Amino acid sequence: MTISLRSDISVSLDEVNLAGSDAKICKAARVSTLGSAAAGSGEARGLLNYLMKNRHGSPFEHGQMSFLVEAPIFVAREFMRHRAGWSYNETSGRYKELEPVFYVPKDSRPLVQEGKAGEYRFVAGTYEQYGITRWEHEQAYRTAWSAYQRMLKAGVAKEIARDVLPVGLFTSFYATCNPRSLMHFLSLRTKNTDATFPSFPQEEIEDVALAMEAAFASHFPLTWEVWDRNGRVAP
Ligand SMILES: Cc1cc2nc3c(=O)[nH]c(=O)nc-3n(C[C@H](O)[C@H](O)[C@H](O)COP(=O)(O)OP(=O)(O)OC[C@H]3O[C@@H](n4cnc5c(N)ncnc54)[C@H](O)[C@@H]3O)c2cc1C
């Protein structure tokens, strides 16, 4: 029985569904004082900075980014706690036979937790700890996948057979957001000690967040710049 082990988490921006720009955010803000004449205006770093600093957040909702994420179920579960300004669709374990693709931490992933809740530090594991981690993940995945397959072969419905699959199984989902909801997500799911409110997310969801931040910085460069400069607080 073959299973695939993956350490990479993939994030791709759906360019077709990309909408908005720094200029569009500025137009949305200026309609307040210019009326329809705002349509002819362009982007302005100073205006974006003013909006960010004073937490005038609604103009930053004019835009859309849609991402296709392939990640373990435990990452998807953390991700979908983000409710405001997000839309999701995910692969169904009721309608589709799932694929035997499972997550294993890469060798550079710190393995050992030190300190107490709220102040955890993660440090490298020993050679033995890396060995047992890889071995136990793989054995558990093989056992679970065999059980899933045996139930399917016996005619048990997919929605029941999937009960035995672990949170390390890969899933795929679309996540669509606007710049404001993305900034809130990034403020919580990236580590940055210079941020006004530093957060300490799990490494795997941070990998997803960093890929999204790169796409955000590329398509909304001035908005990203003023958000970063103002302490990475979503307006
Ligand atoms: C490091 C870290 C550790 C975490 N640990 C845990 C944990 O141990 N257990 C756990 O259950 N969760 C945990 N979470 C998840 C966390 O509690 C939030 O669910 C998640 O970060 C989403 O944040 P949010 O609710 O602000 O985002 P969103 O759901 O996107 O909401 C955005 C904003 O909208 C407003 N809003 C949304 N819904 C409501 C509402 N119903 N009422 C009022 N205002 C609303 C709030 O201002 C909110 O900040 C953790 C998150 C992080 C980053």
Tell me, what CATH number does 159's domain have? 3.30.1360.170
pLDDT-based confidence at residue 41 (cuts at 50, 70, 90): confident
Å from CA of 2 to ligand 1 middle: 38
**Closest residue to atom 4 of ligand 1, CA basis:** 201
Residue 235 belongs to a domain: no
Q: What separation in angstroms does the CA of 54 have from each of 50, 51, 226?
A: 6, 5, 12
**Residue 91, pLDDT above cutoff 80:** yes
* Range of the structural domain that residue 188 is part of: 4-229
Return the pLDDT at 137: 98
182: CA distance to ligand 1 center in Å?
13
In single-letter form, the type of residue at position 150 comes to R
What is the residue with the minimal CA distance to atom 23 of ligand 1? 82
Task: State if residue 166 touches ligand 1 by the CB under 6 angstroms criterion.
Answer: no
- Alpha-carbon distance of 196 to 200, in angstroms, equals 13
Find out whether the beta carbon of 84 lies less than 6 Å from any atom of ligand 1: yes
Q: What is the mean pLDDT of residues 29-45?
A: 90
pLDDT at 190: 98
The pLDDT tens digits of the residues spanning 151-175 come to 999 999 999 999 999 999 999 999 9
| Active-site pick, 30, 162, 180, 189 | 189
CA distance 167 to 15: 29
178 lies in some domain = yes
Query: Which whole number is the average pLDDT over 112-122?
Result: 85
How many residues are there in the chain? 235
Ligand 1 centre and the CA of 138: distance in Å?
Answer: 32
Average pLDDT of span 7-20: 93
Task: Determine contact, residues 65/216, Cβ cutoff 8 Å.
Answer: yes
Q: Hunting for tokens 């999204």 — which residue is that?
A: 212
- Residue carrying the six token digits 């706690």: 81
Residue 75 corresponds to which tokens in the numbers above?
């990452």
Say how far residue 127 (Cα) sits from the centre of its chain: 30
Angstrom distances, CA of residue 5 to CA of 69, 101, 104, 126, 129: 17, 6, 6, 21, 18
Q: 207 in a domain, yes or no?
A: yes
Task: Count structural domains, the chain.
Answer: 1
Please state, in angstroms and rounded to a whole number, the distance separating the CA atoms of residues 164 and 145: 8
CB 182 within 8 A of CB 190: no
55, 77, 188, best to mutate for ligand 1 pocket (most atoms within 8 Å of CB): 188
Residue 43 counted as domain residue:
yes
In a domain, 88, yes or no: yes
- Tracing tokens 């035995």 back to the chain, one arrives at 164
Average model confidence (pLDDT) across the chain: 96
121 is catalytic: no
Query: How remote is the CA of residue 33 from the centroid of ligand 1, in Å?
Result: 34
Asked whether residue 234 is domain-assigned, the answer is no
**Coil/strand/helix, residue 123:** strand
118, pLDDT greater than 90: no
Judge whether 47 lies within some domain. yes
Q: Cβ(188) to ligand 1 under 6 A? A: yes
Q: Which atom of ligand 1 is nearest to the CA of 188?
A: 53
Q: How does pLDDT run across 56-83, given as a tens digit for each residue?
A: 999 999 999 999 999 999 999 999 999 9
What distance in angstroms lies between residue 159's CA and the mean position of ligand 1's atoms? 29
Report if residue 72 sits inside a domain.
yes
Three-state secondary structure readout of 101-155? EEECCCCCCCCEEECCCCCCEEECCCHHHHHHHHHHHHHHHHHHHHHHHHHHHCC
At 224, list the tokens.
């990203």
Give the Cβ contact number of residue 192 at 10 Å: 14
